[in-house]
Structure 1
């Protein structure tokens, strides 16, 4: 591997039991959820913290507030949190420059709207948006026991009634304690595995390499590598993480300079030939009917045939885009090319084409109203030309 900027995504799976965190002490890392309990015991802290689970965040809001207050000493620079959690935090930490409102950021970075949304998979998207070239997955196992011993159902969430002596889902047994609330790991079949599959095309198309360093992980969207084989060539730390519209303290702030941006990455994944085809079709829609009807005084049936052909082309394109959007949203992207676009981008493209199609159909109807398709010469405009309002 050549030098670059590397982010280690530190999951909480049991494959990390016994791992020496000193091995990643000088590497940019993002940690998540309740792992702060382990960090407090060992003194190791990541550069970034993330918690995107609506239930887990509120359950740990006091501890997260303390992490933010002590960020100067623990070294955590940015906290990626959901809006419901930020609003529940004390005011002094709500407005901290280190707090990033994930829900506000989605509006400026639509790629974050990829579903399913999980803390782990979207750590990878955030790493790409911040400007990292490589992502290393540690402890991303996705082999969950749905309800651990000592947990009870509380409404739609689970609550730890008694602290379990051992916890098969995490790399240390004290990860969950009595009173913790959390969601069922997979409320939908293979939710976490599908979330990684959903973000993989964007990461690939934007040139971000991802290695999964757990050979028995159920996440199958990336190449597997042993951490020992790459830890000596992890590359550099990112000097100053930033992205356009990064919302600090619950507000959308200006972009900081120096980092790769979402727009820059997206630009590398665009398909110029598709833009050219779309522009060509649009030009034909505008020019061809006018040329046929005004210059050549073409019969009405020629005009209708030409417009029908173009409408069919648009319908085919619209159907293709809608199919791609649906398959991408459901995570079934194995046979779809150009998978780097987000569902929002695909939906926007589809509805844009639908709008063009609707306008063309209305225009065609107006032209048919003014043409004598049946050959009634009394109603035909002079010189065979269509009168336009």
Structure 2
């Protein structure tokens, strides 16, 4: 069921509503994925990617307003992850992500996703259950949600079993990148700035003169970011990567994400 931002806010104002909703989502998604996977064997396809890129580097491309076409052109031959509506940049560049991730069930542009021509198309059961997917390249992955916002956030070491969700698809892409064996992960377009932000209690704060994405949002009020939860996820990812010999660099031009070490995108390009 697709709910408006206002309805989600109302639900979250009810005591234990988030915990109850997430418990229900986890249960229904588990049953859905078990049934789908029994026929399509998606977990086996994901398992084939484990360690396949051992020691290599990749780029995780966000859709923040700092992202430019020149940046995308500079990394068009690199292994890249992209997500959700990054396809809106395709008409302006030859760049395409090797790995495309669709997670947000509130993104209803199904027809476009069903015709995406990318090497690997990862679609969460959260999205698939709501909209379905007929793209032959699609691989459904199972996501797990914590019952409430927590600093003790799981980080999946086996994405063939589940991927941990945490208010940002970037966390999913980092887990997948680590699972595949990438040792250097560069983030670009991760401005970490949004026009509408919320806390875990559903209180929404609107900020003026802030653009959330590099492209225009048809329904900008539906884009509501839980900044604190995102940052918990990023800190968990950083801790995991540091303990496993993986480095995440933030090569975004500006922005507000300071959890990862900064590096200059131009300097990286000179080494490509």
TM-score range, shorter chain: 0.5 to 0.7
What corresponds to 1:230 in structure 2? 268
SS at match of 1:15: coil
What corresponds to 2:128 in structure 1? 86
Residues 119-163 of structure 1: CA deviation (Å, up to 9, x unaligned) = 01221111110111110000111111118xxxxxxxx9x9xxxxx
Residue pairs, 1:283-362, within 5 angstroms:
none
| Matched-pair contact (CA < 8 Å) for 1:125–1:203 | no
What corresponds to 2:83 in structure 1? 32
Structure whose residues are more often helix by fraction: 1
What corresponds to 2:239 in structure 1? 201
Residues of 2 paired with 1:181 and 1:107: CA distance?
34
TM-score in terms of structure 2 length: 0.63
Residues of 2 paired with 1:107 and 1:212: CA distance?
22
RMSD value over aligned CA atoms?
A: 3.1
Closer/same/farther in 2, CA of residues 62 and 84 from structure 1, 3 Å limit: farther
What corresponds to 1:121 in structure 2? 171
What corresponds to 1:49 in structure 2? 100
What corresponds to 1:77 in structure 2? 119
Residues of 2 paired with 1:177 and 1:183: CA distance?
10
What corresponds to 1:63 in structure 2? 112
> Which one has more relative contact order, counting CA pairs under 8 Å at least 6 apart?
2
What corresponds to 1:241 in structure 2? none
SS at match of 2:70: coil
1:14 Cα deviation after fit: 1.1
Structure 1: any 5+ residue segments left out of the alignment? 148-155, 159-165, 235-389
Residues of 1 paired with 2:187 and 2:157: CA distance?
27
**Structure 1 residue 192 and structure 2 residue 230: aligned?**
yes
SS at match of 2:66: helix
Closer/same/farther in 2, CA of residues 48 and 182 from structure 1, 3 Å limit: farther
Counterpart pick for 1:112 among 145, 163, 170: 163
What corresponds to 2:18 in structure 1? none
Q: How many residues align?
A: 198
Residues 3-60 of structure 1: CA deviation (Å, up to 9, x unaligned) = 951110010111114534220011011111111021134342111111222322xx22
1:97 Cα deviation after fit: 4.8
Q: Point out the structure with max Rg over C-alpha.
A: 1
Residues of 1 paired with 2:239 and 2:137: CA distance?
31
Residues of 2 paired with 1:181 and 1:55: CA distance?
12
Closer/same/farther in 2, CA of residues 97 and 15 from structure 1, 3 Å limit: closer
Residues of 2 paired with 1:83 and 1:231: CA distance?
36
Residues of 2 paired with 1:233 and 1:17: CA distance?
19
What corresponds to 1:318 in structure 2? none
Residues of 2 paired with 1:119 and 1:83: CA distance?
13
What corresponds to 2:218 in structure 1? 177
1:183 Cα deviation after fit: 4.3
TM-score in terms of structure 1 length: 0.45
SS at match of 1:193: helix
Closer/same/farther in 2, CA of residues 197 and 91 from structure 1, 3 Å limit: closer
What corresponds to 2:19 in structure 1? none
SS at match of 2:143: helix
SS at match of 1:219: coil
Residues 230-274 of structure 1: CA deviation (Å, up to 9, x unaligned) = 22435xxxxxxxxxxxxxxxxxxxxxxxxxxxxxxxxxxxxxxxx
Residues of 1 paired with 2:229 and 2:157: CA distance?
23
Residue pairs, 1:275-286, within 5 angstroms:
none
| Matched-pair contact (CA < 8 Å) for 2:73–2:94 | no
Residues of 1 paired with 2:158 and 2:252: CA distance?
33
Counterpart pick for 1:140 among 190, 205, 214: 190
Residues of 2 paired with 1:47 and 1:181: CA distance?
30
